[in-house]
Amino acid sequence: MQHARSTLKKIFAENVCRKAGDEATLLAWPVVCGATVAERTRALSFVDGVLVVAVPDVVWRSQLQQMYQQYLAGLKQVSGQQVRNISFVVAPHATSPTV
């Protein structure tokens, strides 16, 4: 399964992120963090190497902060952008699905 995941990330990086330009890091966030985390978070912006991600509450922010290095490395690899930092901000309504 790990081999399939890395292959999919490579395909995503080569075909989607390369064509997405400035939006590449925003598109890469759900790929890097995985489906479960992506359902509860949302990449809001990517400016000057900083990705801002909305999280539902302080517990989520704390848990994601513990995975910071893993996410940062994944974003650099998949997006092809110079990601310097990830800022997790509590914005409970920003992560709610729209109907």
pLDDT of 42 > 90? The answer is: yes
pLDDT digits (tens, 9 = 90+) for 8-37: 556 555 555 566 577 889 999 998 999 999
pLDDT digits (tens, 9 = 90+) for 71-94: 999 998 888 888 999 999 999 776
Q: Calculate the average pLDDT of the chain.
A: 83
Q: Sign of torsion, CA 70 41 39 44?
A: negative
Instruction: Give me the phi and psi of 96, to 5 degrees please.
Output: -75, 135
Domain count, the chain: 1
* CA 61 from centre of chain: 13
Domain that holds residue 22: 2-95
> What CATH number is attached to the domain comprising 20?
3.30.300.180
CA 80 → CA 50, 53, 57, 94, 97, distances in Å?
14, 18, 29, 26, 28
Q: Report the predicted TM-score, pTM, of the whole model to 2 decimal places.
A: 0.80
